[in-house]
Amino acid sequence: MQRFSVVLFLFALSLQSCDSFTALGVLGLRCAFKVRVVNFSKTKEKWSEEACRDFGSRVKKFGIELEEVTLKPAPGPPKRTVIQQREEEGKELLSRVDVGREKLIVLDERGDIMTSHEFADYLKKCADDGDRGVTFAIGGANGHSEEVQQTARRQGKMISFGKMVMNHQVARVVLFEQLYRAMTIQHSVPYHK
């Protein structure tokens, strides 16, 4: 009876929040893998919203918990230097990342250029390693701070969609499509270009 109560307690705990990853682990259950996309922007184009909603809803069908967080860009020149702007945005970003329990994947043109299959494999590895999820960070107008880059190198990855600079509206569409493509690769679902 006591053992049943413990299990029940753990189960109740797990229902409360997906943070109770350990509790769920005991029960042999796992929360949905969380994918958070953080970007810094004042405005969003309608077309970009529509594309991300479309690919996002397809990603969710694979049981992924997908969330997008849009943060206000920090003031830049002439009020602050570019470095100060990056650092401020970096701190705001890192305060939202549960380092140690999830990976930080920073999109940066100096990052590793991966194929869609490598990207799908990396996400699978994160889930297999027991990570609760991943946070993707799309840099502000002046890129990522040194602290963000170091955290990603230590506890995640810096990846690149190529060497070209993309505006963040385009970058998020590319990311959302790659997330969907990764799911189709992982689950062997046909997906045409």
Which of 57, 153, 167, 189: binder of its own copies (CB under 8 A)?
167
Q: Which is nearer to its own copies, 78 or 162 (CB)?
A: 162
Measured distance CA(176)–CA(181) in Å, rounded: 9
Measured distance CA(182)–CA(23) in Å, rounded: 28
Contact status: 122 vs its own copies (CB under 8 A):
no
Q: Please, what is the Cα angle at 183 between 167 and 61, to 5 degrees? A: 100
CB 106 within 8 A of CB 152: yes
Which of 102, 134, 168, 183: binder of its own copies (CB under 8 A)?
168
Which of 70, 84, 116, 186: binder of its own copies (CB under 8 A)?
116
Residue with tokens 């045409």: 192
Contact status: 190 vs its own copies (CB under 8 A):
no
Positions touching its own copies (CB under 8 A) are: 45-48, 50-51, 54, 109, 113-116, 118-119, 139-141, 160-168, 170, 173-174, 177-178, 181, 192-193
